Structure 1
Amino acid sequence: MQFTTKIPIEKFSKPITYDSNILSLGSCFADNMDEKFDYYKFSTVTNPFGIIFNPISLERIVHRIVNQVAFTENAIFFHNEAWHCFEVHSELSHPNKDEFLKQLNSILNDVHSQIRSLTHCIITLGTAWVYRNNALDKIVANCHKVPQNQFTKELLSVAAIQKSIENIVTLVQQINKEVQFICTVSPVRHSKDGFVENNVSKAHLLSAVYTCKASLNIAYFPSYEIVLDELRDYRFYAEDMLHPNAIAIQYIWQRFKETVIDATVYEIMDEVATIQKALAHKPFNPESESHLKFLANLKHKIQLLQNQIPHIQFK
């Protein structure tokens, strides 16, 4: 007897291994998945310019990275005792203008170099609703608590989203033609837009990705559909009833692992998980002989793993 609607997902033709270099861009759900990548010690960079929810802003930041268009004073502004940039998340905002620009351009150069060695690029789209700054006549990635009357809210068309996805792929391929793109739509519900409006937004994103999947060399991972059709219960949501909770994220990761990560590395992932659990262990008596043996054994396991995969490092 089956109690859920299982989403069929074909195994990816270019799966992720420990030799892969991964760049993840997009909504907060990308950060959720990055925690799993980081736990299992894959080589990954996620949202170097912070969370970006809409495809237009993602395209703009990718254009800046690929073409190495440096951030200048024209791209930043001072508000509420800090310097901000409408193209990046507020977590990067800084009280010192020069330090802020230095930080932004350092990240820009680092990510440009990373794209050259990428094997996989994961794009997680969050919303088709955007805010256009009236004075600049530009869609922003983050409003930085600037008064709402300085923005106009708009719904991106399916065609506009499709064009942005196509442009992102084309831009990255200018410097690395071997990248495997994976698109997904965030299952996080944007209730502030309105529940009907959230559904319209997700529909536009899904329609655009569906069209791009057929016309471009990109894969699609159905995280949105897994939450909607396989889980379909509020027990899989956090307290705000909008974000998937830890159980849901773990389940989505399991489906991701089954279809996107090469089965040949599962044994290594299990070994990494064993080490991670051991590192999290809190001894009753840190000076006991048994704990010292435990630490020596753990050190040996880490060394064996690092001999096999040198880039794996544990804190």
Structure 2
Amino acid sequence: MDFRTIIQIPRSDIPVTHSSRILLLGSCFSTHMGQQLLQHKFRIDMNPFGILYNPFSISRAIGRLLKAIPFSEADLVYHNGLYHSLMHHGDFSDVDVHTCLQKINDRFEHAAGKIRHITHFFITFGTARAYRWGESGDIVGNCHQIPADRFIPVRLSVEKIVEEWISVIVSIKKENPHARFLFTVSPVRHWKEGAHENQLNKSILHLAIDTLQQYFPDEVRYFPAYELMMDELRDYRFYGNDMMHPSSQATAYIWERFSETFFLEETRSINAEWAQIRNGLDHRPLHPESASFAAFKAALSHKLEVFAARNPEISCEEERNLLQSK
């Protein structure tokens, strides 16, 4: 007898390989998936604006990257002793305006230089709840604890999200006709406005993505991370201490299902081989000067070189340096 409902996810016809160039944008869940991809040696760029939650903030970030317009002091606000960008996460804020801009623009230039070569955009929508900056009417990516009366709360509609993202996808495809878009809805519940509001917002996101799939049947796919969390992993033992975010065990399971969906057998084989090498690199010897550890290093170095020769699209220089430093 089976005591849980299993989400049936068909193998995607848009595979992700180690030759793919991937940009992940969106909520903290996109960061979790990005970290997994990074650990498995995929070529990724991850949240160059920091964590973003609503579809318009993510689309504005992509639009800015495509235009390659750097940020200036006019793009910042000053509050509570810090300079902030309303398009960025608080990780970029700083007490010094020049340091703040340098952090923003260094990261921005790195991502803008790559965006026209991205093959897979991995987009995670968190909520349809958004906030407009009262002075301009622009939807912000982060409120930075600025007083609420300086913002106008809005609930984005399905129609507006679809209209915005049709424009984004068309713009990207003009630059790169082969780009593909993998959407998901964050399994993290946004509880601040209450349970009902959270469900309404998640429903809007689902409907918007479904409509985008109909507009772009060859380019857009959906991965059901939200459904996996709500159905297969509905027990609270799969949540973190805040009872909102997935636990590390839940994230690992969703990664497994992601792998089954988007990775070819060859890619999964490469991942398994790399996991063995990574485990070896993580090894901390009790006696680093011993002959046994020298033999271990030599064997691991051989494995690394064989792997690198067989997979030239994967850079192993960092791991070579790490092994030499042991």
Superposition deviation, residue 192 in structure 1 = 1.2
Alpha-carbon contact 2:65-2:115 (below 8 Å) kept:
no
Indicate the larger mover: 24-33 or 268-277: 268-277
3-state SS, counterpart of residue 182 of structure 1? strand
Letter in 2 for 1:250: A
Alpha-carbon contact 1:76-1:85 (below 8 Å) kept:
yes
3-state SS, counterpart of residue 132 of structure 2? strand
**What is the alpha-carbon distance in structure 2 between the residues aligned to residue 99 and residue 239 of structure 1?**
34
Letter in 2 for 1:219: R
Alpha-carbon contact 2:24-2:121 (below 8 Å) kept:
yes
TM-score of the superposition, structure 1-length normalised?
0.95
- Give the percent of matched residue pairs that are identical in Structure 1 and Structure 2: 38
Indicate the larger mover: 33-42 or 89-98: 89-98
Alpha-carbon contact 1:236-1:244 (below 8 Å) kept:
yes
Alpha-carbon contact 1:115-1:175 (below 8 Å) kept:
no
Letter in 2 for 1:119: T
Counterpart residue number, 2:249: 247
**What is the alpha-carbon distance in structure 2 between the residues aligned to residue 304 and residue 99 of structure 1?**
43
Does residue 64 of structure 1 match 2:67?
no
Counterpart residue number, 2:101: 101
Letter in 1 for 2:24: S
Counterpart residue number, 1:235: 237
Does residue 30 of structure 1 match 2:30?
yes
Counterpart residue number, 1:141: 141
**What is the alpha-carbon distance in structure 2 between the residues aligned to residue 165 and residue 263 of structure 1?**
32
Superposition deviation, residue 33 in structure 1 = 0.6
Superposition deviation, residue 304 in structure 1 = 1.6
Superposition deviation, residue 226 in structure 1 = 0.8
TM-score of the superposition, structure 2-length normalised?
0.92
Indicate the larger mover: 8-17 or 249-258: 8-17
Superposition deviation, residue 187 in structure 1 = 0.3
Letter in 2 for 1:16: V
Indicate the larger mover: 177-186 or 260-269: 260-269
Counterpart residue number, 1:54: 54
Counterpart residue number, 1:207: 207
Aligned pairs (5 A) from 1:233-312: 233-310=235-312, 311-312=314-315
**Cα separation, partners in 2 of 1:136 and 1:187, compared to 1, 3 Å:** same
Letter in 2 for 1:72: S
**What is the alpha-carbon distance in structure 2 between the residues aligned to residue 286 and residue 136 of structure 1?**
60
Superposition deviation, residue 2 in structure 1 = 2.4
Aligned length: 315
5+ residue gaps in structure 2? none
Give per-residue Cα distances to partners, 1:151-175, cap 9 Å, x unaligned: 1221111111222222221222231
RMSD across aligned positions (CA): 1.5
Superposition deviation, residue 78 in structure 1 = 2.0
Letter in 1 for 2:204: H
**What is the alpha-carbon distance in structure 1 between the residues aligned to residue 200 and residue 14 of structure 2?**
32
Indicate the larger mover: 138-147 or 76-85: 76-85
Letter in 2 for 1:257: S
**What is the alpha-carbon distance in structure 1 between the residues aligned to residue 101 and residue 163 of structure 2?**
29
Superposition deviation, residue 211 in structure 1 = 1.0
3-state SS, counterpart of residue 191 of structure 1? coil
Letter in 2 for 1:269: N
Alpha-carbon contact 1:18-1:42 (below 8 Å) kept:
yes
Aligned pairs (5 A) from 1:57-96: 57-96=57-96
